[in-house]
């Protein structure tokens, strides 16, 4: 449960940062503005799912959320992303980036801890079943 709480906190921090930036002027951008609002809503929903639904899907969503959001920022800070060019400066940038990295790690660890993805279960599924000839 600790991994789920950490993942939930991480996606909520990222969502809060994007909501704050949306209110601070990104809402005027016709591409990035809706993406920031979607990030805020998705982060809140994923955090709720992580805490309320004991399934591997919310962990996968947290992992993907962190990966997609951090990936979009890396693109924006290097080659540009939908016309946005950002830099690695400011408290909001670092708060979001760190929280997204934590969401990736916590979501991934949670998936690895899930019984569905345990080593024994995966080996059992991947094992070639040979008929018993005796």
pLDDT along the chain (134 residues), means of 10: 96 95 82 88 97 94 96 85 73 92 96 77 63 61
133 occurs within a structural domain: no
61 occurs within a structural domain: yes
% of the chain residues with pLDDT over 90? 52
- Encode pLDDT of 19-41 as tens digits: 998 998 877 777 778 888 999 99
134 occurs within a structural domain: no
3-class secondary structure, 51: helix
76 occurs within a structural domain: yes
- Count of domains forming the chain: 1
Host domain of residue 43: 2-126
122 occurs within a structural domain: yes
Q: What is the pTM of this model?
A: 0.80
pLDDT on residue 27: 76
**Counting runs of H as helices and runs of E as strands, what totals does the chain give?**
5, 0
Phi, psi of 4 (to 5 degrees): -65, -40
């Amino acid at each position: 449960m600790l991994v789920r709480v950490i993942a939930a906190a991480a996606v909520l921090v990222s969502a809060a940062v994007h909501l704050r930036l949306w209110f601070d002027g990104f809402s005027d951008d016709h591409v990035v503005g809706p993406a920031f609002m979607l990030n805020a809503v998705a982060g809140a929903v994923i955090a709720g799912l992580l805490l309320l639904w004991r399934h591997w899907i919310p962990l996968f969503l947290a992992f993907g959320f962190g990966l997609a959001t951090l990936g979009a920022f890396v693109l924006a800070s290097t080659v540009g992303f939908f016309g946005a060019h950002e830099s690695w400066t400011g408290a909001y940038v670092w708060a979001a980036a760190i929280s997204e990295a934590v969401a990736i790690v916590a979501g991934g660890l949670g998936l690895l801890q899930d019984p569905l993805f345990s080593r024994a279960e995966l080996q059992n599924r991947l094992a070639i079943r040979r008929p018993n000839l005796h």
